[in-house]
């Protein structure tokens, strides 16, 4: 048993709810605050833990056992875990997988992630579904009283109003060359001229860039604070806006850039990028009660009437009426609650989706959207 499971750990919510369990991550006494959210995927815990969109959040996995297949560096979505805390029903003490390079507990310990198991996650998730997203504190410091922790949770920051994307963004411009390799699901023609895409990094998952490269794009990743002048200097064929954490309306610098560049370049936004793109065009967003997070979210594509099972991770949504007012039309609907899951502009080469077509983890029902973006760039390409 490589994992240190047994020390006490508490999750305390702002409404006074106290959940006790066992610590299996960070070994020293500590506390961490964040909005408490849940993911309904049966697997993909490693991708979720390293997804920058989870920055500032305490993540609950609803699957009954987590950690069975360990950790593999090839499946990382960023260099390290991004969550403020991690909660599961049962953490597997062994990893059975030929690709595994480390046990989950050991890996979380190495990265100082406060983690807790021995929790009735179904009851905890039902509580969040009933009362909405709650701020909380996960703590292994036994010197702290329950009352102190409740107060800390109440005083902590939620997602609303926070520009976390600028914190999650890379600081430097870089070129991305890695593709999907043997997992490539795209059918791009290697002989076709590759397209240059500037990707505004708001906390992007690495698998998104791999999909763009495999679809025939040369990706230049740039900080989310990049100016229109800096983008024009690259002379790209298109603009991509990534996923990321926090409130889309708080990311002012990116929104201002999109107001200018979306009128000049074919533009594609995913998740937070989709939301900011909508705001830049004049639409509005609102906060969901408890968000959509998991690899089994059903979406209906308006053009084909097909139902696509998608991977999602977001707590905000674009307002349908405001989209219509700014010349946009809905392309995808979330079937669980009828919220907007995708849109396009009626006259400009602009599109966005609320879900993750790259999945990781999740199904590849919507992977065609990367090729759709490529075709949109090719059809908009102006000869020199």
Instruction: Return the percentage of the chain with pLDDT > 70, whole number.
Output: 95
Q: Tell how many helices (H) and how many strands (E) occur in the chain.
A: 11, 17
For the segment 182-224, what is each residue's pLDDT rounded down to a tens digit? 667 666 666 578 999 999 999 999 999 999 999 999 999 999 9
User: 3 falls in which pLDDT band (50, 70, 90)?
Assistant: very low
Task: List the catalytic residue out of 186, 314, 356, 364.
Answer: 356
For the segment 249-280, what is each residue's pLDDT rounded down to a tens digit? 999 999 999 999 999 999 999 999 999 999 99
Residue for token pair 């039902």:
126
Instruction: Classify 27 as helix, strand or coil.
Output: coil
pLDDT reported for residue 182: 65
Crossing angle of helices 252-261 and 272-281, rounded to 10°: 60
Average pLDDT of 54-80?
96
User: 2 falls in which pLDDT band (50, 70, 90)?
Assistant: very low
Residues 134 and 38: beta-carbon distance below 8 Å = no
271 is catalytic: yes
Average pLDDT of 232-258?
97
Domains along the sequence of the chain with CATH: 7-155 (3.50.30.20), 165-380 (3.40.50.880)
How far apart, in whole angstroms, are the C-alpha atoms of residue 330 and residue 324? Answer: 8
Pairing of strands 328-334, 285-301: antiparallel
364 is catalytic: no
Task: List the catalytic residue out of 271, 292, 328, 345.
Answer: 271
Average pLDDT of 109-123?
97
pLDDT reported for residue 342: 98
For the segment 303-335, what is each residue's pLDDT rounded down to a tens digit? 999 999 999 999 999 999 999 999 999 999 999
Backbone angles phi, psi at 255, to 5 degrees: -60, -40
Contacts of 232 (CB under 8 A, 6+ apart): 264
110 is catalytic: no
Task: List the catalytic residue out of 186, 332, 358, 364.
Answer: 358
How far apart, in whole angstroms, are the C-alpha atoms of residue 152 and residue 18? Answer: 13
Is the predicted pLDDT of residue 4 greater than 50, yes or no?
Answer: no
Backbone angles phi, psi at 368, to 5 degrees: -60, -20
Contacts of the segment 127-132: beta carbons below 8 A, 24+ positions apart: 127/13, 127/17, 128/36, 128/37, 128/38, 128/60, 128/290, 129/289, 129/290, 131/15, 132/289, 132/290
Average pLDDT of 85-98?
95
Other C-beta atoms within 10 Å of 219: how many? 25
Arithmetic mean of pLDDT over the chain: 94
How far apart, in whole angstroms, are the C-alpha atoms of residue 147 and residue 376? Answer: 56
């Amino acid at each position: 048993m490589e994992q240190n499971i047994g020390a006490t750990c508490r999750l305390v919510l702002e409404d006074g709810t106290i959940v006790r369990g066992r610590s299996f991550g960070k070994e020293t006494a500590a506390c961490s605050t964040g909005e408490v959210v849940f993911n309904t995927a049966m697997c993909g815990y490693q991708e979720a833990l390293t997804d920058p969109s989870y920055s500032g959040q305490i993540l609950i996995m609803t699957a009954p056992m987590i950690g069975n297949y360990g950790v593999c560096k090839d499946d990382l979505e960023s260099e390290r875990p991004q969550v403020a805390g991690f909660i599961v029903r049962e953490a597997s003490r062994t990893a059975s997988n030929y690709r595994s390079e480390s046990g989950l507990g050991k890996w979380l310990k190495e990265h100082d992630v406060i983690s807790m198991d021995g929790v009735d996650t179904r009851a905890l998730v039902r509580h969040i579904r009933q009362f909405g997203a709650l701020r909380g504190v996960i703590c292994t410091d036994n010197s702290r009283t329950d009352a102190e922790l409740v107060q800390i949770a109440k005083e902590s920051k939620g997602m609303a109003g926070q520009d976390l994307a600028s914190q999650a963004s890379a600081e430097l411009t870089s070129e991305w060359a890695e593709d999907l390799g043997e997992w490539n699901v795209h059918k791009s023609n290697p002989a076709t001229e590759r397209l240059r895409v500037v990707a505004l990094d708001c906390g992007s998952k690495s698998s998104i860039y791999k999909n763009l490269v495999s679809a025939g794009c040369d990706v230049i990743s740039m900080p989310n604070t990049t100016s229109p002048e800096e983008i024009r200097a690259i002379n790209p064929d298109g603009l991509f806006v990534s996923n990321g954490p926090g409130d889309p309306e708080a990311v002012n610098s990116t929104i201002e850039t999109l107001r200018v560049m979306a009128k000049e370049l074919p533009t594609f936004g995913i998740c937070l990028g989709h939301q900011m793109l909508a705001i830049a065009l004049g639409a509005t967003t609102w906060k969901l009660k408890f968000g959509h997070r998991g690899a089994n979210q059903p979406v209906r594509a308006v053009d084909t009437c097909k139902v696509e099972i998608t991977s999602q991770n977001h707590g905000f949504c674009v307002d349908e009426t405001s989209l219509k007012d700014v010349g946009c039309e809905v392309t995808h609907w979330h079937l669980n609650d009828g919220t907007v899951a995708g849109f396009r502009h009626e006259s400009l080469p602009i599109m966005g989706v609320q879900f993750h077509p790259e999945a990781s983890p999740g199904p590849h029902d919507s992977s065609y959207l990367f090729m759709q973006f490529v075709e949109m760039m090719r059809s908009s390409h102006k000869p020199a």
